Amino acid sequence: MNLDDLLAALTWRDLVDFVLLFTIAYAALRLLKGTRALPALVLVALLAAAGFVARELDIVGVGVLLRYVLEYIIIILIVVFHQELRRLLVRVGQRLMPQSRREAAESAVETLVASCERLVKGRVGALLILEGELDVLEICTDVGKPIDAPLRAETLVALTVPHSLNTAHDGAILIRDFRIARAGVVCPLSTRVLDPRFGTRHRGAIGVSEDSDALVIVLSEERGEMRVVLGGVISESLDSGELEERIYAWIDRPPPSAGERGPGSSASRADMGVELVDAEGSGARAQAKSGASASPGGLG
């Protein structure tokens, strides 16, 4: 059958079928972007292609082996990537019901801000990572301990209060899909030159935000300050209202484009309103403003 015969045999049902399959595949890839499941799906596609080639070339042993692997691969993927599948279903539900997502976001933001206020008043330091589309754990040096608990102020406070029995308080708390996913997460430390006021906690917050689209909330026990870090840029000290605005702005942001990295985005620097210091410490400064005056937060 040549191309003309193939086109003549096409019907409107075939076109609808093709469009639906393309839309489903595109939506699935968008949802899986930045997760561990995407490379696994690429591997499955390669195995399927290898099995097809083996069958066509009549390579019996390899063909039989790949056929059995592909028959059980679905069960294997469900077991290995059950967390990613759960996140995928949650995202689909949130996109189908945007009002429900907004209500959940409002409740989560209220809880986060209230928790940060309590911790700052008690002079308790903390690092809260709000995960975006990209998997934060892939860049962390230690994934911490699984929690998988509802986002509640009492739980956040309990996980951050320093105590010899609380082995998770030294690391960051990962918040994923408005739930407390993990605690005691060890973030990669930024190698940039920072303001002397900032310690290891701030360096870790900048480090994890440089290679992800996460919003990181940093609470300082020494100065009683609340700051946020996005795209490797740290904000000025915030009050509760400003912190709430920053979180809502991050929730309503568009998804990151392919290859987009936080530190290279000049827009993110302007939005954060911070004063930057060059890595060589030469003293050259660039003042970025977002409408209101901001206290300096030097970065290298």
Phi and psi at residue 87, to the nearest 5°: -65, -40
Its CATH architecture, for the domain 98-287, is 3-Layer(aba) Sandwich (3.40)
Question: Which residue in 274, 177, 162 sits closest to 228, CA to CA?
Answer: 274
Are residues 127 and 204 in contact, defined by beta-carbon separation less than 8 angstroms? yes
Instruction: Provide the residue ranges of all domains of the chain, joining segments of one domain with +.
Output: 3-86, 98-287
What is the pLDDT, as a whole number, of residue 90?
62
Beta pairing class for 145-150 and 285-287: unpaired
Question: Which residue in 118, 80, 99 sits closest to 240, CA to CA?
Answer: 118
Query: How many Å apart are CA 209 and CA 130, to the nearest integer?
Result: 10
Q: Tell me the pLDDT of the chain (300 aa) as tens digits.
A: 566 776 677 788 888 888 888 888 777 776 666 556 667 777 778 888 888 888 888 888 888 888 888 877 778 777 776 666 666 666 666 566 555 556 667 888 888 899 999 999 888 889 999 988 778 888 888 888 888 888 898 898 888 887 777 767 778 999 988 889 999 898 888 888 888 888 888 988 998 888 888 899 999 888 888 999 998 888 898 998 999 999 988 887 654 544 444 433 333 333 333 333 333 333 333 333 333 333 333 333
**Can you give the length of the chain in residues?**
300
Query: How many Å apart are CA 20 and CA 159, to the nearest integer?
Result: 46
Query: How many Å apart are CA 156 and CA 173, to the nearest integer?
Result: 8
Q: Is 188 left (phi over 0), alpha (psi -120 to 50) or beta?
A: beta
Residue 176, number of CB atoms within 10 A of its CB: 22
List b or e across 261-289, with b for residues whose CB sees 16 or more CB atoms inside 10 angstroms.
ebbebeebbebbbbbbbeeeeeeeeeebe
* DSSP-assigned states of every residue in the chain: --HHHHHHH--HHHHHHHHHHHHHHHHHHHHHTTSTHHHHHHHHHHHHHHHHHHHHTT-HHHHHHHHHHHHHHHHHHHHHTHHHHHHHHHHHHHHH-HHHHHHHHHHHHHHHHHHHHHHHHTT--EEEEE--SS-GGGT-SB--EEEEEE--HHHHHHHHS--TT-TTTTSEEEEETTEEEEEEEBPPPP-S---TT--HHHHHHHHHHHTS--EEEEEETTTTEEEEEETTEE---B-HHHHHHHHHHHHTSPPPPTT--STT-HHHHHHHT-EEE-TT----EEE--SSS--------
